[in-house]
Each structure stands twice: as C-alpha cells, then as structure tokens.
Amino acid sequence: MRSTAPRTPASIRVLAYGWMAWLLLPFAILFVGFIMRLDLARTVFADPRFLSAFWVSLASAFVTAVVAGFFAIPAAYALAFGRFRNASVLETLMIDVPQTLPPVAVGVIYLYAFGPGRPWNIAFTFLAVVTAKLIVSSPFALSHTLRRFRDIRETKLDLMARSLGADTKDVLLRILVPMSRREIAAGLTLTWARAMGEFGGSLIFAGVIAYRTEILPTYTNRLSQQDPLLALTATTVMVAFALLSLLAVRTLIAGKRK
C-alpha cells in the first residue's frame, strides 16, 4: 500500500460514494421492505405455487450447472490446448456472445427451432427451462475453467505429465481437473446463480405453467402485477441465493490465494 497517497478530492469522493449508494439502494429497499412486512413472508412461503417455483428453479439451475460442467471441461481443454485457426473467434462465440444475447432473443430462437410443429418439440417443459438457462449461464463455467487451464499450460505441467507417459485422459483427470477444482467450482457456482435468476428465455420458451415450468423469476413477475409487496418478499429469496453464491465464490477464490 502507498503511504504517501494524496487525499482524494471531495468531488471524487462524492461521485464514488454516490454511485455506491445508488447501486446498494435496491438491497436497502429489499431489506427494509422484508423486515417491515415479515408477515407477508409467511403468506409467500405458504403458497404452494411459490414452493413449486422454488424447487423448479433449484432443480433446473442444478441440472444446468451439471450439464455446463460436463461440457465446459472438454471445451476448455480444446480451447486451451487445441490448435484452432480462429481460436479467439470460437472463444468469443462460446463465452461472450451467449452472455450478451438478449434473453428474449434466446427464447424466440429456441421456440422457433424446438417449439410446436418441430420434430424435437420441447417447448413449455422442464427441459425447455434448462435449455434456456444453459446458454446464458454456461459461459461462466467455461471462462473460469479455461483461464485456469491456460495458466497450467504456461507452467508446462501438462507436457511434464505427457513426458511421464500420460495420455490426454490422464492429463485431464490427473492434472488439469484436480489442479483447477477451485476455479471449476467457482465457475459452476456462478453458472448456477445466473441460472437461478434467468428470466426472459424461460418465459418465452418454457412459459409459466404452474407446478411445471414456473420458476422464481416468472413467479415473481406474475406476482408483481398483483401485489408488489408479495413480489418483494419472493425477490428476497432470489437475492439471498445470489448473495450466498457470490459469497461461496469469494471464499473459494480467497482459499486459493492462501
């Protein structure tokens, strides 16, 4: 740390703290609203549709994370160690583009490709929920794993293993994955958290069918038009999960630095 740092001018401090306050404002509103109307929490938690939406959200986000992990590890290996002519284009297509695609567009595309009248019609099913979540959330798993694989490649430990007789499967399972377990876990946690909050794609491709495809964000959306205070309570649950996953990722990364 620099001990001779000059005092930050008041104008910069006002702008910085003002911006921080603006970003934290929704959390403050949520917290105060939840505390003031704790009785509403009971109403929400007693609603069987809420409980169903909660479980569908949890289960679909979990399946999404498992599928993302299953494909992200070989994909990261291919990008880190493979010889592609346009590796950076491929990486942009697999990591950046899915994250910037408007979720509504994802829903529309999938509905057109795998919707009613198509040979593989999976629209308005649990599978549709997972499919919509997968495209926007899997890039987290891939980018975290890929970054770590590239770091290991720099150390040449993969080549070291090969010189000792390891084949690609050994390099992956005995070197890359064990050495990257924290980053893979962090990437999967973020994938799961993003999948928990995904809304637009699921809304269009999976619809809002109670007890089947209704997830917490679509449940909250429906509720917000009927009773904003009840919606606020349901939102608290989503935000709590998001913060918990962020905390888990921070702990994983901090653990690595020790």
Partner 1 sequence: MAAVSIKGLTKTYDGRRVLDGLTFELAPGEIAAVSGRSGSGKTTLLACILGFVEPEAGSVFIDGEDVSGASVRRRRIAYVPQDYGLFPHLDVAGNIGFGLAVRGAKPAEIAAAAGRLLDLVELPREYAEKDVAELSGGQRQRVALARALAVEPRLFLLDEPLSAIDPETKAKVAAELRALIKRAGVPAIVVTHDQAEAQMLADSRWRLESGKLLPAQ
Residues touching partner 1: how many (CB under 8 A)?
A: 17
For position 151 contacting partner 1 by CB under 8 A, the verdict is: no
For position 250 contacting partner 1 by CB under 8 A, the verdict is: no
For position 154 contacting partner 1 by CB under 8 A, the verdict is: no
Our CB check for partner 1 shows the closer of 94 and 175 to be: 175
Among 167, 225, 226, 257, binds partner 1 (CB under 8 A): 167
3-class SS of residue 113: helix
Rounded CA gap, 244 and 122, in Å?
A: 32
Q: How many CB atoms lie within 10 A of CB 255?
A: 11
Rounded CA gap, 71 and 99, in Å?
A: 17
For position 162 contacting partner 1 by CB under 8 A, the verdict is: yes
Our CB check for partner 1 shows the closer of 8 and 163 to be: 163
Let me know the angle formed at the C-alpha of 59 by 93 and 180, rounded to the nearest 5 degrees: 50
CA distances from 50 to 46, 53, 218 (A): 8, 5, 10
Least distance from partner 1 to the Cβ atom of residue 168, Å: 10
Among 65, 74, 33, 58, which residue's Cα sits nearest to residue 235?
Answer: 33
Rounded CA gap, 39 and 228, in Å?
A: 14
For position 156 contacting partner 1 by CB under 8 A, the verdict is: yes
Rounded CA gap, 142 and 187, in Å?
A: 7
Among 165, 225, 226, 257, binds partner 1 (CB under 8 A): 165
Place of tokens 């009971």: 42
Our CB check for partner 1 shows the closer of 42 and 256 to be: 256
Mark the segment that binds partner 1 (CB under 8 A) among 12-20, 95-103, 131-139, 175-183.
175-183
Least distance from partner 1 to the Cβ atom of residue 145, Å: 16
For position 186 contacting partner 1 by CB under 8 A, the verdict is: no
Least distance from partner 1 to the Cβ atom of residue 157, Å: 6
Mark the segment that binds partner 1 (CB under 8 A) among 8-16, 68-76, 116-124, 174-182.
174-182
For position 18 contacting partner 1 by CB under 8 A, the verdict is: no
For position 256 contacting partner 1 by CB under 8 A, the verdict is: no
Torsion of CA 72, 73, 78, 81, to 10 degrees: 140
Mark the segment that binds partner 1 (CB under 8 A) among 95-103, 152-160, 197-205, 243-251.
152-160
Read off the amino acid at residue 2: R
Q: Sort 257 into a burial class: Cβ within 10 Å, 0-12 / 13-18 / 19+.
A: exposed
For position 82 contacting partner 1 by CB under 8 A, the verdict is: no
Site residues (vs partner 1, CB under 8 A)? 155-157, 159-167, 170, 174-175, 178-179
